[in-house]
Chains A and B, each alone.
Chain A
Amino acid sequence: MDKGLLAYLLIPLLSAVIIPFAARNRPRLADILANVTLLAGLVNLGWLALRPSVVRGDFADIPGDGLALLLVGAIYLVALCVTFFSAWFMEEGQPNRAAYYSLILASVSAMTGVVTTTDFFTLYVFIEVLAVTSFALITTDESRGGIEGALKYFFLTFPASALIIVGISILLITLGNLQFETLRFFMSTDVPPGPVVFASALIMLGFLIKAGVVPFHAWTPDAYQGAYAPVSAHLAGIVTKISGVYAIVKLGTLLRFFDGRASALSEMVMFLGLLSIAVGALAALRQKDFKRMLAFSSISQVGYIVLAAGLGTPLAVIGAVFHLFNHATFKTVLFLNSASVEKSSGTTDMGKLGGLEHSMPWTSWTSVIALLSTAGVPPLSGFWSKLLIILALWEAGLRGYAGLALLFSIVTLAYFMVMQRKVFFGKKSQAAESAPEVSAPLLAPAVLMSAVIVALGLLFPYFYTYVKMVAERIIL
């Protein structure tokens, strides 16, 4: 375990335990404690990542492989946006306010554990904690959709856990221990990798299910659509990224996909990635509900990361890591804004919405920035990560994959154009007439994240040197 980042795991856990006691008589204290904990962590991380030496391009002080730091940053950023939003979104007098924040902080701890661990079994333990907290968070408002989503999540992710634990036991038998480094070292030797690759394939399959990759995506739209609104931002923004996609990228680098020792597995992962891109994008075109469309778009974007992780060349890993971070930023904006739209106009049905731009300008324009970034329009951050992924595919000689990835990027643009016209632009609908702009605190997280999206796009060269360092450290 990366001890340099241990505090980021322990402090939210401590806050999570304190909150139910401290907020017993003053429920508002739960909001304050959760937000202060996450903000303090984020400021601390900002100091670690933006020191003058780091900005100059000297990464000697960055702990571990650098990926953990980047992802812990993403986790804190998204979680802070979600808790800040929830503090104003949640109705007064909800009986389980303290438990809600405790669960969010426990899931932050678990995610930090996932990204800092260096051992497969510890990874499993933290991923299970994450599954339990997500399961409870999805049902926060006890709506019918939420419970249905939670049950689907339960029935698909626990078999995935079973696959992972079986894979881990075979790995223990064949490798002798469960350290990441042992697997990486084994894959660089000449020993026939059969059983080890088989075990890794089982683990990979488990994580593909948890990431909601096609054909294991059945739980994703229901869980995202049915979940309590800020929770769907938390889930889509970061939880599925960490509990599934991160592990796929990590496993891909450990198996050294780029030197072709596990080529069958690498090809399978790439194929499922492309399938996700295609199915997610085509299904999103046909959706009538705002949140459901975002869920399918999420499946499609996760496909890009999985495709790049399956390829595994240094450039592809840079693209995958960058897209993972970007996806966390723009999906958080979109899901938080969908919650604002739902609160203000009372519906997320795209047939009833329209012309929101006039009545909710801030919500509309931050959404447009996030949409354009998702679709890969320059100079926003999403453009650079997709470009890197497509270039990596082209460079590896996989021109068909590169062409299809590009084509579906255009389909992404198409469905988002349709959505923009139906929800934000065009004639003002009846629902939009009576929909006032939400209050400033509800807008703040979306504005902050939109600023991050624009900044990452414009300051891409600085960010690229960091992500390149990460890719070099995790591949070498």
Chain B
Amino acid sequence: MTYHNLLFTLAVLFALWAVMAKKLLTSAIMLALLSVTVSLIFFNLGAPWAGVFELSVCAGLITVLFIGAVSLIRAVEEKHPESRAPFNALPLAAAIFAIAGWFYLPAFFDELASWRRLAESSGTIGAALWDLRRPDILGQVLMLAAGVFVIKSVFPRRTEK
């Protein structure tokens, strides 16, 4: 139960951070962490396939694409800095939502947890990844390596210019 609540809280935190980050790169990384948390929630709710695909596609592939795209963008000094007031209001809105959730959501979480108990026999994350999708891990390693090479290939050209 605590583990569940922790995951949900983390998911919300990462989501907020992704929206509020000043740097695009931070935003992309927070989005990846959000995906990791969501995939852990999937695993915990007994949906290893959904978890594996969330981890592979959203946390792996999409992040590399985002980071690749961000590395292509040149920093431009903006004349009028963007207004961040709406973003600052976001934590406030989240806090109000959290207080409302404190009263209404526990029943919903209890129900989710009971689903998890039903699916407890489906094995751990490691087992699901290793037994079901071993070649994908290789693909992910390759993807990460490719992402690093993309950045290495694009950044020197930018700094040179």
| A contact residues vs B (CB 8 Å cutoff) | 1, 9, 13, 16-17, 20, 95-96, 98-100, 102-103, 106-107, 109-110, 113, 117, 119, 121-122, 125-126, 128-129, 132-133, 135-136, 139-140, 142, 158, 165, 172
Contacts and interface: CB of A to CB of B under 8 A. Distances in A.
Interface string B42-85: 00000001000100110011001100100000000000000000
Secondary structure call for the B interface: helix
A98 B152 contact: yes
26 contacts: A1-B135, A13-B141, A16-B145, A16-B149, A95-B156, A96-B154, A103-B146, A103-B149, A109-B142, A110-B142, A110-B146, A121-B53, A125-B61, A125-B139, A126-B139, A128-B143, A129-B139, A129-B143, A129-B146, A132-B146, A132-B147, A135-B150, A136-B149, A139-B154, A158-B65, A172-B49
Given A17-B145, A95-B160, A121 B133 contact: yes
A9 B138 contact: yes
B140 to A, nearest CB: 7
Contacts of B147: 132
A42 to B, nearest CB: 20
A125 B140 contact: yes
Given A122-B135, A172-B49, A100 B153 contact: yes
Contact of A96 (B141, B143, B156): B156
A140 B142 CA distance: 20
B13 to A, nearest CB: 28
Contact of B138 (A96, A106, A113, A128): A113
Contacts of B146: 103, 106-107, 110, 129, 132-133, 136
Contact of B152 (A20, A117, A122, A158): A20
B53 A103 contact: no
Contacts of B145: 13, 16-17, 102, 106
A99 B136 contact: no
Interface string B115-154: 0000000000000000001111011111101110110111
Nearest to A139: B154
B22 interface: no
A55 to B, nearest CB: 32
A122 B139 contact: yes
B142 A113 contact: yes
A162 to B, nearest CB: 11
| 8 shortest interchain CB distances as A-B pairs | A125-B139, A99-B153, A95-B156, A99-B152, A136-B150, A102-B149, A1-B135, A122-B135
A165 B53 CA distance: 10
